[in-house]
């Protein structure tokens, strides 16, 4: 692997690392693509300033919380394919949110499922998280399928504070049988 960073975790085909200030081009390739971000926020493409703010947010979250939506690279080629990871949801109750987002060229190849499964195992086995939650754009059938396959159960819909959009909300407890 060409990246000079510690690996957070690995799956069969993927390596999770951490974001740093030198990743602006990667961040823009992901969060600057309307076809990708519409599944997150329903908006047009994020501006350069919004992408930079998102990158900074991820870097700071790693420093303060020890987690982020880690950048993903294919093991066989070191190609950046997106991000997947965790964000504190209710730290006092040991609840974290799972998130995943891939670049367009890597959709439909099982990478999101593989990455999400790796992040779930990391959360439960290494971080000893009690519960994971997740949500997705209401029209994102792929994300719905992935969360269901991992054993997440849909609880209700909730309004996303950032977008104002109503999104399905899921939960997975550590003692669940799937994932």
Structural domains of the chain, with CATH: 9-173 (3.40.630.30)
27-36's contacts with Cβ under 8 Å and 24+ in sequence apart are: 27/51, 27/52, 27/54, 27/55, 29/80, 29/103, 30/80, 30/82, 30/83, 30/101, 30/103, 31/55, 33/103, 33/104, 35/104, 36/82, 36/101, 36/102, 36/103, 36/104
10-residue stretch averages of pLDDT, the chain, 179 residues long: 75 97 95 87 80 96 96 96 97 95 96 98 96 93 96 92 85 77
Tell me the whole-structure pTM to 2 decimals.
0.92
- Chain-wide mean pLDDT for the chain? 92
Count other Cβ atoms within 10 Å, centred on residue 50: 15
| % of the chain exceeding 90 in pLDDT | 78
Residue-wise pLDDT for 43-83, tens only, equals 667 889 999 999 999 999 999 999 999 999 999 999 999 99
Q: What pLDDT is recorded for position 161?
A: 79
């Amino acid at each position: 692997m060409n990246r000079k960073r510690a690996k957070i975790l690995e799956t069969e085909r993927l390596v999770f690392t951490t974001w740093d200030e030198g990743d602006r081009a990667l961040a823009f390739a992901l969060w600057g693509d309307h076809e990708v971000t519409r599944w997150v926020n329903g908006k047009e493409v994020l501006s350069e300033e919004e992408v930079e703010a998102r990158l900074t947010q991820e870097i700071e979250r790693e420093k303060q919380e020890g987690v982020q939506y880690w950048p993903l690279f294919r093991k066989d080629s070191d190609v950046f394919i997106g991000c997947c990871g965790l964000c504190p949801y209710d730290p006092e109750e040991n609840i974290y949110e799972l998130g995943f987002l891939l670049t367009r060229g890597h959709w439909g190849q099982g990478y999101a499922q593989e990455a999400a499964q790796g992040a779930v195992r990391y959360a439960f086995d290494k971080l000893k998280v009690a519960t994971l939650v997740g949500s997705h754009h209401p029209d994102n059938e792929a994300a719905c399928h992935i969360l269901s396959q991992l054993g997440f159960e849909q609880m209700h819909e909730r309004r996303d504070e950032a977008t104002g959009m109503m999104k399905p909300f899921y939960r997975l407890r550590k003692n669940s049988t799937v994932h």
